[in-house]
Homo-oligomer: A and B are copies of this chain.
Amino acid sequence: MESQKNISPAVIKRLPRYYRYLGELLNHNIQKISSRELSLRMNVTASQIRQDLNCFGGFGQQGYGYNVEYLYHCIRRILGLDKSLCAILVGIGHLGQALANNSLFEKCGVRLIGLFDIADNLVGTAVGGETVRHFDTVGDFCAENRVDIAVLTVPRTETQAVAERLVRCGVFGFWNFANTELSLPDDPVKIENVHMRDSLMQLCYRLTNEGEILT
């Protein structure tokens, strides 16, 4: 169950979804589930579920299935949600404020420990129970606090520079909401993009090109 090598991105991408469904089963007090039952609920093949889970170890029992609570906690651990990672949020615009007020971090076991911006009318104010700090002070903050993740909700044009500065501060995890790709040293740095604009465009594509012809 320790960090396995060579897990394919496709598998990693499915883990949160398994975790989500298992959480729901848990809420419904369902104690065991077979790959077949779960496959019907999730609309994937039972084969894929067994294959995916076996990347990380044998969590099931032949003839029985999987213990929901046990599997749920295993996936939680695999995802690293029990690590209490620490995050800062940079760029306290509309989207930044929405994220700061969201239960998202909590649900992922991530602690949001700092908010940063450069606007005078924001710095010093409280957003979601945290005081906004000036981004100029981010170096000191990172020296004094462990920062695993920086959430980037700054304007597109600033994103690259902000990220580079944070890398120099020792921050290696980036959750990027800007509509652009970051180019940062691949090795220690991990980037996860939320390209909302790309997502909306895909919806536009499918509405105009698939199914009913749209005017």
Contact = CB atoms under 8 A, between A and B. Distances in A.
Interface of A: 3-4, 7, 12-13, 15-17, 19-20, 78-81, 83, 85, 93-95, 97-98, 101-102, 104-105, 107-110, 148-149, 172-175, 179-180, 187-188, 190, 192, 194-215
Q: Which 9 A-B pairs have the closest CB atoms?
A: A80-B208, A16-B198, A94-B98, A192-B203, A16-B201, A98-B98, A3-B209, A80-B204, A190-B206
A196 B98 contact: no
Stoichiometry, copies per complex? 2
17 contacts: A12-B202, A12-B205, A16-B198, A17-B198, A20-B179, A20-B198, A80-B214, A81-B201, A94-B97, A95-B98, A97-B98, A105-B200, A108-B204, A173-B203, A173-B207, A190-B206, A190-B210
B200 A108 contact: yes
Nearest to A42: B181
Given A97-B94, A179-B20, A194 B194 contact: yes
Contacts of A108: 197, 200-201, 204
A197 to B, nearest CB: 6
A180 to B, nearest CB: 8
Nearest to A194: B199
Contacts of A98: 93-95, 97-98
B199 A192 contact: yes
Contact of A209 (B4, B179, B194): B4
Contacts of A15: 201-202, 205
A153 B94 CA distance: 14
A128 to B, nearest CB: 9
Given A85-B214, A95-B98, 7 more contacts: A3-B213, A15-B205, A78-B209, A83-B215, A107-B179, A110-B204, A175-B203
Given A98-B94, A195-B16, A200 B3 contact: no
Contact of A197 (B16, B93, B206, B213): B16
